[in-house]
Amino acid sequence: MEAMGTARGFLRSMFEHRDDPYEGADLETSRRVTAALLGLSALLSLAFLPLEPVGDSSVGGAGWAIAGALIALGLAGAAMISRRSPSFGDLLVVAYAGVAGIAVLNWLAGADSSAYEDLFVLWVGAGAVHPPRRAFVHLGAMLVALALPLVYHGASGDEVRDLIAEALILVVLGAILTSYLHYVRRQRVGLRTGAEVARRLARVDELTGLGNRRAFDEVFTIEGAVAARDAVPLSVGLVDIDNLRRVNESHGHLEGDRSLVEVARAMERSLRTTDRCFRWGGDEFVVVLPGSDRATADEVLTRMADSVERECRFADGRGVDLTWGTAELDPGASAEDALASADVALLEKKTDKRR
């Protein structure tokens, strides 16, 4: 029952509407597959010409010119696709054009069945690289092209049975290839999503939801490059929660964690939209202030500390005090240099508070 449910879910996913039907598809691989199939189809058609003459149709000797033109277009198209970057829409047009070309060659051969119609199997692969809905419509067009000799020639019972057998082979092969490639696209989307989630989680502090040290390094590197390019200031603030250790000792670490989360949220709310706050570790936070010199950074952190004191309370009812130090990034300095300067300023303020 579980297997049947999984199969039904998979089949449903093949035909459900998607904003991006090609999500998870590899355009480069699809381009190479289509180019290879187009070139192979043209070369095999060329090899079939001595075996399946195309001058006996109703157009007479012009059939050779038409066949030659189709083969030349196929080879040129394969070369063009290999060298350029067509879209998925372009590749789908090529897939339909390939089916039409085989149908014309089969008609030019002047027979109910010819070697050219065996080339339809190649174009199953060209259609299967597209989403299931489009792949099966392409497969339907191929079956119609396969059955065209019944319209302009008629056929005996044996020929109809051969046609049905060929159609079944195309349907089964098309269903297998389309399902497999759909599965591959789903797996690729899942892996990509999982990797994105992992990258995001690797940059987020689990307790507070703020960015962690890795996230700080990335943001500071980017903002430092922008500051150097645009000749604008960039400051950093190092912030410490006063007396959090006493809360942990008196009320337990769970209460200390609650206070950390509450303070982190209050800090984020009080900062400007351009500023970013990160948890540095323990009871310390780092604030990145793009476009701010040290004086402006001090003003921003002063407002932030006032806001935290008003909004946050320890378990004993006392307001939460913050101590901070700021530093402005000097030209050519690193994040470590700025943080070291901010740490010195932080220690000076802590020393002043103890006096």
- Within this chain, do residues 184 and 330 fall inside the same structural domain, yes or no? no
Which tokens is 249 given?
A: 């000792």
The model's pLDDT over 42-81, given as tens digits with 9 standing for 90+, comes to 999 999 988 887 766 566 678 888 889 999 999 999 999 9
- Within this chain, do residues 226 and 264 fall inside the same structural domain, yes or no? yes
pLDDT above 60 (res 245): yes
Q: State the pLDDT at residue 281.
A: 84
Backbone angles phi, psi at 151, to 5 degrees: -80, -45
pLDDT above 90 (res 316): no
The model's pLDDT over 258-309, given as tens digits with 9 standing for 90+, comes to 888 999 999 999 998 899 999 988 889 999 999 999 999 999 999 999 999 8
pLDDT above 80 (res 211): yes
Residue-wise DSSP of 107-137: HHTTSSS-GGGGGHHHHHHHHHTS-HHHHHH
Place of tokens 């060209």: 126
CATH code (residue 307): 3.30.70.270
Confidence of residue 111 (pLDDT cuts 50, 70, 90): low
Q: State the pLDDT at residue 148.
A: 86
Write the CA distances from 86 to 80, 93, 97, 134, integer angstroms.
9, 11, 15, 17
Which tokens is 14 given?
A: 């093949």
Write the CA distances from 320 to 12, 302, 352, integer angstroms.
55, 13, 18
- Within this chain, do residues 68 and 185 fall inside the same structural domain, yes or no? yes
Let me know if residue 120 belongs to a domain: yes
- Within this chain, do residues 174 and 258 fall inside the same structural domain, yes or no? no
Confidence of residue 340 (pLDDT cuts 50, 70, 90): very high
- Within this chain, do residues 41 and 181 fall inside the same structural domain, yes or no? yes
Q: State the pLDDT at residue 38.
A: 94
The domain boundary residue, chosen from 199, 222, 240: 199
The model's pLDDT over 147-205, given as tens digits with 9 standing for 90+, comes to 888 877 666 667 778 888 889 999 999 999 999 998 888 888 888 878 777 777 778 88
Let me know if residue 228 belongs to a domain: yes
Q: State the pLDDT at residue 155.
A: 62
Residues contacting residue 236 through CB under 8 Å, at least 6 positions apart? 220, 286, 287, 288, 289, 297, 326, 327, 329, 335, 338, 339, 342
Nearest to 40 by CA among 91, 98, 83: 98
Let me know if residue 208 belongs to a domain: no
Tell me how far apart the alpha carbons of residues 234 and 176 are, in angstroms, rounded to a whole number.
58
More confident residue, 91 or 17: 91
Tell me how far apart the alpha carbons of residues 310 and 221 are, in angstroms, rounded to a whole number.
33
Rounded mean pLDDT, 128-145: 93
How many domains does the chain fold into? 2
Tell me how far apart the alpha carbons of residues 261 and 312 are, in angstroms, rounded to a whole number.
10
The domain boundary residue, chosen from 171, 199, 227: 199
Q: State the pLDDT at residue 39.
A: 94
What global pTM score does this model have? 0.64
Q: Read off the amino acid at residue 118.
A: D
- Within this chain, do residues 224 and 186 fall inside the same structural domain, yes or no? no
- Within this chain, do residues 193 and 248 fall inside the same structural domain, yes or no? no
pLDDT above 60 (res 10): yes
Let me know if residue 207 belongs to a domain: no
Q: Burial code of 272-310, b = ≥16 C-beta within 10 A, e = fewer?
A: eeebbbbbbeebbbbbbbbbbebebbbebbeebbebbee
Rounded mean pLDDT, 231-255: 86
- Within this chain, do residues 65 and 101 fall inside the same structural domain, yes or no? yes
- Within this chain, do residues 47 and 160 fall inside the same structural domain, yes or no? yes
Let me know if residue 206 belongs to a domain: no
Let me know if residue 164 belongs to a domain: yes
SS3 258: helix
Q: Read off the amino acid at residue 313.
A: R
pLDDT above 90 (res 234): yes
- Within this chain, do residues 218 and 341 fall inside the same structural domain, yes or no? yes
Q: State the pLDDT at residue 2.
A: 57
Q: State the pLDDT at residue 286.
A: 94
Confidence of residue 13 (pLDDT cuts 50, 70, 90): confident
- Within this chain, do residues 230 and 195 fall inside the same structural domain, yes or no? no
Residue-wise DSSP of 209-222: -SB-HHHHHHHHHH
**Domain coverage including residue 64:** 2-199
Lowest model confidence (mean pLDDT) among 26-30, 277-281, 289-293, 313-317? 313-317
Let me know if residue 141 belongs to a domain: yes
Let me know if residue 273 belongs to a domain: yes
The domain boundary residue, chosen from 142, 164, 199: 199
More confident residue, 354 or 149: 149
Q: What angle do CA 92, 96, 101 make, to 5 degrees?
A: 140
Q: State the pLDDT at residue 58.
A: 60
- Within this chain, do residues 188 and 156 fall inside the same structural domain, yes or no? yes
